[in-house]
Each structure stands twice: as C-alpha cells, then as structure tokens.
Amino acid sequence: MSQDIWNFIFIGITFGIYIGIALWAKAGSTKEYYTAGGGVSALANGMATGADWMSAATFISMAGIVAASGYDASRFLMGWTGGFVLLTTLMVPYLRKFGKATVPDFIGDRFYSKTARLVAVFCAIFICMTYIMGQMRGVGIVFSRLFNIEIATGVIIGGSIVFFYAGLGGMKGITYTQVAQYCVMVFAYTIPVIFISLALTGNVIPQMGLIGDFTKGGEAVPLLQKMNDLSVELGVTKYTDGSLSTTDMFCITAALMAGTAGLPHVIVRFFTVKSVKAVRKSACWTLFFIAIIYLTAPALGLFARTNLVDELNNKSYTEAPSWFKNWEDQGMIAWVDKNNDGIIQYGKGKAFAGKPIMDGEKRGEQGQRIVKNEVTSDPNEVYYDRDIIVLANPEMAGLPKWLIALVMAGCVAAALSTAAGLLLVLSTSISHDLMKKIIKPDITDKQEMAYARMASFGALVIASYFGINPPSSFVAKTVAFAFGLAASSFFPTLLMGIFSKRVNKEGAIVGMICGISFTFAYIVYFQFIAEHQNYLFGISPEGIGFVGMFINFIVTIVISSFTPAPPQEVQDMVEHIRIPSGAGEASH
C-alpha cells in the first residue's frame, strides 16, 4: 500500500473517533459546556490536559530545537514542565475551590470589579488568539503536505473539525476527544524513537540511549562525547554547552514557567474534576503524561542530529539516504554544492540566506534541486527545516509506512487538541464573562450557550483567516510570546489574589495593564521595529515576560498600599478558598 493510502486510513480513523466522541458528548447545559459536568476522573483529566498542553509546536518543533541547539533547548524542556509545579502548588487547588468556571470569573469576583473582569477578558482573548493562530497554521501545513492540497483548504478542514467538537460539545466534547488525542500522540511520538534508539545505541529505552554509548557500526563510544567531538570538528558549539547567556537562559525559563502557570486554557481544565483532592491527583497524572513526551524529546533530538551528521557529512550526494531526497522534494531540505565536488559538507553557519526558494523543477549536476537564495560564504552546504526532525524520523530510521502515517495523525491530534482548548476559553470568555456578567445579565442558560457557540465560530473564522494569511513570521513567534503575555498578566494577579487579602482592585487592574503592555511593547519593539540586538540587560523578547511579571507585582503592591483594603466579604472569600474541603461542583 502506498504512503498516501496509509495516511488516509490513519487520519480517517482518528477523525472518525473524534467526531463519534463529539456526537456522544454533545453539551446540553452551560455546566456541561463549561466544565464537562464536573465529574471527570483525575486520570482522564490528566491525559486531556496533556493533549491540551502539547501544541503542534511542541509536537513537531521541540525535538528539532533540541537537535539544533543542544543544551540551550533545555529552556523549553524545563520551562514547559516546571511550570506545572507552580500551577499545581500555587494556582489550581485554590481556583478550583473558588468553584467558578472561568479565569476572568475569579478575577472579577476577587477584585470586586467589572473593570478587572473586562481587563481579564481582554488578556484571555489576546493570549488565546495569538496562540490559536499558530495552531491553525500548523494544521494547514500538515494537511497540505499529507494530501497535497492548498494550506488554506487544510486550515478550513481542520477548523471545521474543531468547531464540530469544541463548538457543539464544549468542555465535555473536548475532554474526551483530548483523551483520545493524547493516546494517538504518545504512541506516535515514542514508538519511532524507540526503534531509532535501538538502531543507534542498542538501548530500547531512548532516555538511557541519550546517556549511553553509540554502538552502530561496531565500536562503542559515548554518544554525547561523539556528538561533542563532531561539533568541534565542524566548528560549531559543543552539544552539551550552551551559547545563550546565563541571564537570558534564566529569564526565558522563568517566563515559560510562570506563563504555563497563567495560561487560561490549562487552568480551566482543572475545573472539570470533582474536588481539590482530585485536582492534586490529576495534576500529578498530567505532569507524568507530559514528562513521557518531554523526556523523549531530548533523546530524539540527539539521535536525529547524530544521524544527520553521520549519514550526510562528507558523503556524496548520489549516495545520500532516500529521506534526504524525499524532503528535498518537499523543499524542507536543500543542498548547495559550493565547491562543486559532489560531496555534502555539513558544518558551521548557514548554507544560504533565509528559507529555500526552489528554482522551479530545475536540477543540478548531481540531481539536486537548485535554490535561488543568495549563497553565503560559510562552509555549510546543507539547509534543513527543523520541523522535519519529528516528521522525518521514522523515515530516517527506515520504519514501516503505517508508522509514518501514525506520526502524521499525531501531529494533527496535537494541533487540534490545543486549538479546541483555546477555542473553549475564547468562547466562554465572551459568552460568560462579557455577555452574561457585563453586557446582558438577564440572558438564560440556553441563550448563553448560543452565544458561546457563536463566539467560538467567530473566533475560529478570525483564527483561520490569520492561519491562512499569517502576518509574516508573526504567528510562529507569537506562540512563544503568548507565554510571556500570560506570565506578565494572569500569573502575578492570580497569585496575589489567592495569597494576599490586602491586594485590591485598583492595584490588580493597573498591575495587569502595566505588565502586559510592557511585555507586549518590548516584544513588538525588538521583533518588528528595532533591527539591532541591544536588549535590555541582555534579555531576549522570549524572556521579557519575566521582567513584565515583576513590574506587575511591584505596581500592584505599591498601588494597593495607597488605596483602601478590599471589602470584608472579599477577604472572607480569600480565606474560604484556602480551605480545601467542600469545593462542591464548579458553577458559573
């Protein structure tokens, strides 16, 4: 059977499952729409949160980032897992006890102010919208590669599926589709790596292979040592050494951690379980399920890099493995024969400026595709798109076609599950917090759900538009920046709302606005306006959310100390959420 047929079978089966679950779990009330009815088991919620959390970017790109930058990539590995420790110990048990269904709901009640609620709604929409655009783009790219269709068509297909189960089923539909999606993702991610690990290191556990010996081709040498030596030979930074400054590394990791703890689509997942005790148990499961994939990524990254160097460097193009040529046909790999020797040289620097622009179907002397880009003077002759690391690894390891199809299904699952979670936050922020709590307090349960469905449709249309027409490289970058925005707005405000009785509405409102505007302005300035790299204290835009977070903290505390304390009933409420028992079911 050809690869295409396998792809159709796997994508078809998984989509069938998602749609089946959506029909089974159609939400009948706002309670089911917002919190899946409140009785999701800790284990199921753990899996669902894992799928919700791992986006197309994590699934497709993370191993590629590790392969390209070695130690430096640890900022993502630690940042995105370490955030769950913050989330679990400081946030979700208390927010679950509070017992409402959305994040702006907590902020609106805790800071007894419609303005605070409005600012929170705005922040939530802003964060989720930047994030969801990237997911839609991801779905489009995977589909276009799978079925050779336009990216736009791919985005529309993905969008319709998401609307079908997120819009109709709400949280209930999302929860159980995400459980299925996690299962697809975890098999798709780990199985190929196990085979690669066996081939390269003889170790069936990839995590052990990472710290083990390279055994392919006879003599056993320490794998990391081999990679470091190769790197030195090629003139690039050692794999186990970083090139980022300690300050930058620290700030980016911290911003990602705090951002994780402030992301509304992750927080709301914990409103679906029964009690505070179940929240803690569920958080353990979540991190466990995420860790399976996050511990596999560094192994995959190292294996892929080793393969890349080992199988390509100083080999003639005609002998290059077939995956190299397949991905070259897709325009994801390119080779420029700078010294006209017909041999692939991989080394320091870039092969050419920017992404490859292929010169039609023209082929060079060795049969390689010709690029129109301006060639650099660096010795490197190979360009590869980092995103192919996960997509191409089954092929690199010579695995069967059905496994390649499984990886494709995993990519789609990763993008769809995150998009659905974000869509839910967007639609509930609008229907519940904006319509019900601010604009039209007298709407019925049924009308509120109708607004939620309309809002999710509207949000999806906008997200799809930007997925099809991305504002330059804006989308890919803003996914990482969404964390900085969450770290500088929601994280400090929620934290102070829970742990301080003194912080009041004036402080919280001004603090949130200052934090998010500073972070946003810094990102926009250094990403789009200033060409130079004169970062403030050497902190790159990725890590600036950490500084924005401190600005939020300081502004909130200073303003709160000059303005009157919150009313007694709010102080009582803060005391109430600190007691774990008697959470009851989440209401709205």
Partner 1 sequence: MSENKNSAEEHYKGSLKIVGVILFIWAFISYGCAIIFRDWMDANMPSIGNAPFGFWMAQQGSIIGFVLLLLAYTFFMNKLDEKHGFGEED
Give the interface with partner 1 as residue ranges (CB under 8 A): 42, 66, 71, 74, 77-78, 81-82, 84-86, 88-90, 93, 207-208, 210-213, 222-225, 240, 246, 249-250, 253-254, 257, 274-278, 280-281, 283-284, 287-288, 291, 294-295, 298, 575, 578-582
Question: CA 425, CA 124: separation in Å to the nearest integer?
Answer: 8
The nearer residue to partner 1, 204 or 208, going by C-beta atoms, is 208
The nearer residue to partner 1, 108 or 566, going by C-beta atoms, is 566
Q: C-beta of 582: minimal distance to partner 1 in Å?
A: 8
Q: C-beta of 295: minimal distance to partner 1 in Å?
A: 6
Nearest CA to 422 out of 45, 93, 159, 30 is that of 159
Secondary structure of 222-261 as H, E, C letters: EHHHHHHHHHHHHCCCCCCCCCCCHHHHHHHHHHHHHHHH
Q: C-beta of 441: minimal distance to partner 1 in Å?
A: 33
Site of tokens 């080999």: 315
Q: C-beta of 228: minimal distance to partner 1 in Å?
A: 10
The nearer residue to partner 1, 239 or 520, going by C-beta atoms, is 239
Q: C-beta of 322: minimal distance to partner 1 in Å?
A: 31
Question: CA 462, CA 332: separation in Å to the nearest integer?
Answer: 28
Secondary structure of 291-303 as H, E, C letters: HHHHHHHHHHHHH
Site of tokens 């409103």: 271
The nearer residue to partner 1, 342 or 580, going by C-beta atoms, is 580
Q: C-beta of 554: minimal distance to partner 1 in Å?
A: 20
Q: C-beta of 255: minimal distance to partner 1 in Å?
A: 12
Task: Assess contact for 423 and 177: CB atoms under 8 A.
Answer: no
Any bridge partners for residue 333, and if so which? 384
Task: Assess contact for 433 and 119: CB atoms under 8 A.
Answer: no
Secondary structure of 271-291 as H, E, C letters: HHCCCHHHHHHHHHHHHHHHH
Tokens representing residue 331 in the block = 């325009």
Rg (CA), the chain: 24
The nearer residue to partner 1, 244 or 408, going by C-beta atoms, is 244
The nearer residue to partner 1, 254 or 267, going by C-beta atoms, is 254
The nearer residue to partner 1, 222 or 398, going by C-beta atoms, is 222
Task: Assess contact for 429 and 437: CB atoms under 8 A.
Answer: no
The nearer residue to partner 1, 347 or 580, going by C-beta atoms, is 580
Question: CA 12, CA 14: separation in Å to the nearest integer?
Answer: 6
Q: C-beta of 190: minimal distance to partner 1 in Å?
A: 15
Q: What's the Cα-to-Cα distance from 449 to each of 131, 377, 427, 444, 452, rounded to whole Å?
A: 24, 60, 9, 9, 5
Burial class (CB in 10 A: 0-12, 13-18, 19+), 19: middle
Question: CA 426, CA 99: separation in Å to the nearest integer?
Answer: 19
Question: 10 Å Cβ neighbour count for 39?
Answer: 11
The nearer residue to partner 1, 457 or 535, going by C-beta atoms, is 535
The nearer residue to partner 1, 89 or 571, going by C-beta atoms, is 89
The nearer residue to partner 1, 250 or 535, going by C-beta atoms, is 250
Q: C-beta of 270: minimal distance to partner 1 in Å?
A: 13
The nearer residue to partner 1, 119 or 302, going by C-beta atoms, is 302
Q: C-beta of 259: minimal distance to partner 1 in Å?
A: 15
Mapped onto helix, strand or coil, the DSSP state of residue 121 is: helix
Q: Which amino acid is at 418?
A: T
Start-to-end Cα distance in the chain? 52
Phi, psi of 307 (to 5 degrees): -55, -45
Task: Assess contact for 92 and 278: CB atoms under 8 A.
Answer: no
The residues, any chain, with a CB within 8 Å of residue 80's CB and separated by 6 or more, are 53, 58, 256, 260, 290, 294
Chain length of the chain: 588
Q: C-beta of 207: minimal distance to partner 1 in Å?
A: 6
Q: C-beta of 285: minimal distance to partner 1 in Å?
A: 9
Q: C-beta of 224: minimal distance to partner 1 in Å?
A: 5
The nearer residue to partner 1, 285 or 383, going by C-beta atoms, is 285
Any bridge partners for residue 375, and if so which? 352
